[in-house]
């Protein structure tokens, strides 16, 4: 992953001696350096968090309903028309200021 790119950026952290010792032990057990251990685990955690926050799964039934709404959108109801009107006022006011 990151090993294939030129490493030009630096991240510095301060930790207590107990945490450093724990990372050193874990890195040794993983047969890697502390830096590589920390970076690899931080990237895995970052990927999990990004995936959790930016992606979602829906059932086949819900996917079919979603696609149907795209192909056959319902007519705007009163609430949606009011929202469009409010948005238009807000955007026009912001742009014209």
Cβ atoms of 76 and 84 closer than 8 Å: yes
How many distinct structural domains can be found in the chain?
2
Of the pLDDT bands very low, low, confident and very high (cuts 50, 70, 90), residue 3 is low
Q: What is the mean pLDDT of residues 8-16?
A: 94
Q: Provide the residue range defining the domain that includes 13.
A: 2-54
The per-residue pLDDT for 85 is 94
Both 48 and 64 in one domain: the answer is no
Both 68 and 40 in one domain: the answer is no
| Cα–Cα distance measured from residue 65 to residue 58, given in angstroms and rounded to the nearest whole number | 11
For residue 52, give every residue at least 6 positions away whose Cβ sits within 8 Å of its Cβ, in sequence order, or none. none
Give the residue with greater pLDDT, 4 vs 84.
84
| Cα–Cα distance measured from residue 47 to residue 50, given in angstroms and rounded to the nearest whole number | 5
In tens, the pLDDT along 24-72 reads: 999 999 999 999 999 999 999 999 999 999 988 899 999 999 999 999 9
Of the pLDDT bands very low, low, confident and very high (cuts 50, 70, 90), residue 97 is low
Both 50 and 80 in one domain: the answer is no
- Give SS3 for 74: coil
Both 44 and 65 in one domain: the answer is no
């Amino acid at each position: 992953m990151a090993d294939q790119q030129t490493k030009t950026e630096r991240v510095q952290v301060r930790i207590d001696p107990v945490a450093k010792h724990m990372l050193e032990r874990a890195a040794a057990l993983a047969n890697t350096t502390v830096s590589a251990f920390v970076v690899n685990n931080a990237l895995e955690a970052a990927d999990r968090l990004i995936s959790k926050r930016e992606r979602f799964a829906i059932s086949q039934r819900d996917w079919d309903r979603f696609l149907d709404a795209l192909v056959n959108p319902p007519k705007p109801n009163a609430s949606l028309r009011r929202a469009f009107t409010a948005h238009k006022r807000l955007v026009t006011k912001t742009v014209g200021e």
